[in-house]
A and B are shown apart, each in its own frame.
Chain A
Amino acid sequence: MPKRRKLSPFLCREMLYEYEIGLLDPERQSAVEEFMQADADCREELESLRAAFGYAEQLGQTEVRLDIVAHLREAENAVSLSKKYASWRNWPETLRWASVALMVSVVVAAFVAAVPWNQLQKFGPVQQTTVLKLADLTGAVEDDSEAEPESEVAEDDQGSGDWEVDAEGSPVQVAEASEGRSQPQSEPDATPVPSPTPVTMAVAATPTPVPTPKEAKPKGFVYRAFMNLGNLEEIGPKIAEHIVELGGAKAGEVELGWKRGAGRYYHFSLPEENEEKLLEKLRAYGPVRMSKDPHPRVMPPGQVRFILWIEPL
C-alpha cells in the first residue's frame, strides 16, 4: 500500500481554491479534507474563501447607471463609424440628401465646364448685318452679251483649271485682254477694278432692307466646260470655228480661243438647240467635263452661255 503524502499548512492553503472549485484529484481532495479536520486555521481560511466567492459573485451583479450604458452603446471610433456607414441605407437622412445634392452639383458643373458655349452661336439663328448697298447691278438681264466679259474672264484668271471658283459678290480682277495681245504673260496681267457685282461700302447712308436669300438668288446659269487636249495650237482654232459654225458668238471682250498661258479660253453664247451638237464636236477631240452653275446674269430665251477652258495635256 503506497504511503499517503502528508500536507503541510502551506500546501493546504495553496490547494484550497482548487479544492473549492473541484479541480483536485480524489487523492489530493481527501488529503486536504483530512488535513482540515486537524487544522482549524485552514478550515477558517476555506470559509473565508467561500465568503469571497459569494462576495465576488454578488459584486458581479452590480448595476451600472443606465446613462453610462446608453453613452457607451453610442461609442464609435473611425473604424466602427466607417463600418457603420459603409452601406448607403445606414446613412443619416440629411447626409444622404446632402450627398445627392453634391453629386447633382458636380454633374451640372462638369456639364457647364464641358460645353463649348462660344461655339454654340453657330447652331443658333444667323445674325443679320445691315448692309448699305449703293448699287445693285446683279439683277440686270443680259440683253447684250457683249457688255460683260470682265468678271468671267477674271473668274478663270483666278487660277487655271480652278473651275469651281465663283467670284460672285467678291471684288474681281479684270484681265486686260485685247485683240492685239496674242500671247499674254504667264502671270495674269490684270488690273483690279471695282466689281460690277454689289458694291458695299461702309459709309453713312440710308439703310436699305437686307435682301433675303430668295431675292438674291440668281435665276440665270452658265455652262462651264473643261478639257485637256494635246496639240492646242492646231485644235484651238478649229474649236473656235465649230462654235461660230453653230451660231455661237463671243461674250465678253476677248476673242474665242484667247490664249492665257498655255491654255485657251472660250466665252460665248450659243443657240440652245445647238448645245448638244457643240458638245458632240468637242467630245470628238477628248472628254469634256461639264457643270451647269447658277449665275445672276439671265440670258435671252433660246440662248445659253458657255465658258470653255482648255488646258494642254
Chain B
Amino acid sequence: MISDEQVRRIALFFFLSLMDEKAALQASDKAVAQLKSKNESALDDQALIRVLWQNFEQSAKQMDRRPARGAPETSWASSSPVSFRPWIKFHQEAGKNELVAVLLSRVLGFKEESIASGLGVSLGTARHRISKGMRLLSAHVKRERA
C-alpha cells in the first residue's frame, strides 16, 4: 500500500524534475500504478527510486521530442516556503544525472546508498553527482539571494 507521503514525494519528484505539469502528472500516474502492482514487501526506497528513474527517463525522452515548452509550470504546488527561481535555473542548466541526484538526496531526503542502488551506480558516482549538482544549485541560490 502506498502512503500519502509516498504519493506526495512521487509527485514532487516529477514536477521538479520535468517542470511540466501534464508530463509530470502522466509520469506520476504511471509510477504510482507500477508501485501498486508490486509486492508490498518490495516497496522500499530502492524500488521506489528505480521506478522514479525509469519513468523520468521515458518522460524526458518524450519531452525532448516535443517542441520547446514555455515557462516552467509551478501551479501544481499549493504552497512552497521558497522561490522556484533558483531551481528553475538549476533545472535548465544541470545535466539529468545531477538534477535527479540532487533532487533525490537533498530535496526528497533519500539516503545516498539507496540512491546509488536505485540508479544502478556506485556510491562514489552518486556522491559525485550530488556534489556537482549542489555546487551548481548553490550558485543559483547565491544569485537569488544577491
Find out whether the CB atom of A61 lies under 8 angstroms from the CB atom of B131.
no
Chain B contacts for A23, CB-based, 8 A: 127
Please judge, given known A-B contacts A56-B106, A62-B79, A72-B29, whether A79 and B37 are in contact too, CB under 8 Å. Answer: yes
CB distance from A205 to the nearest CB of B (A): 85
Stretch of B8-16, B41-49, B63-71, B113-121 contacting A (4+ beta carbons < 8 Å): B8-16
What's the Cα separation between A144 and B104 when bound, in Å? 123
What's the Cα separation between A84 and B1 when bound, in Å? 11
Choose one: B12, B37, B138; the contact of A77 (CB below 8 Å).
B37
Chain A contacts for B137, CB-based, 8 A: 52, 55-56
Chain B contacts for A72, CB-based, 8 A: 7, 10-11, 25, 28-29, 32
Interface size range of chain B in the complex: 35 or more
B95 within 8 A of A: no
Chain A contacts for B80, CB-based, 8 A: 58-59, 61-63
Find out whether the CB atom of B25 lies under 8 angstroms from the CB atom of A68.
yes
Interface size range of chain A in the complex: 35 or more
Find out whether the CB atom of A65 lies under 8 angstroms from the CB atom of B78.
yes
Chain A contacts for B29, CB-based, 8 A: 71-72, 75
Find out whether the CB atom of B102 lies under 8 angstroms from the CB atom of A80.
no
Choose one: B4, B30, B135; the contact of A69 (CB below 8 Å).
B4
Find out whether the CB atom of A60 lies under 8 angstroms from the CB atom of B107.
yes
Choose one: A16, A59, A69, A76; the contact of B7 (CB below 8 Å).
A69
Find out whether the CB atom of B139 lies under 8 angstroms from the CB atom of A65.
no
Nearest A residue to B143, CB-CB: A48
A73 within 8 A of B: yes
Choose one: B11, B30, B108, B139; the contact of A64 (CB below 8 Å).
B11
Chain B contacts for A84, CB-based, 8 A: 36
What's the Cα separation between A65 and B8 when bound, in Å? 9
Find out whether the CB atom of A51 lies under 8 angstroms from the CB atom of B15.
no
Find out whether the CB atom of B142 lies under 8 angstroms from the CB atom of A64.
no
Nearest A residue to B137, CB-CB: A52
What's the Cα separation between A14 and B77 when bound, in Å? 34
Choose one: A17, A57, A61, A75; the contact of B36 (CB below 8 Å).
A75
A43 within 8 A of B: no
Interface centre among B2, B37, B77, B138 (most CB of A within 10 A): B138
Among A10-27, those with CB < 8 Å from B are: 13-14, 16-18, 23
A107 within 8 A of B: no
Nearest A residue to B15, CB-CB: A64
Interface centre among A53, A75, A77, A84 (most CB of B within 10 A): A75
Chain B contacts for A104, CB-based, 8 A: none
A83 within 8 A of B: yes
Chain B contacts for A45, CB-based, 8 A: 135, 138
A interface residues, Cβ below 8 angstroms from B: 13-14, 16-18, 23, 45, 48-49, 51-53, 55-66, 68-69, 71-73, 75-77, 79-80, 83-84
Q: Which 9 A-B pairs have the closest CB atoms?
A: A79-B37, A52-B138, A17-B131, A56-B106, A77-B33, A80-B36, A48-B138, A75-B32, A80-B37
12 example contacts (A-B, Cβ-Cβ < 8 A) are as follows A49-B134, A53-B106, A56-B134, A59-B87, A61-B81, A64-B76, A68-B11, A72-B11, A72-B25, A75-B30, A77-B34, A80-B36
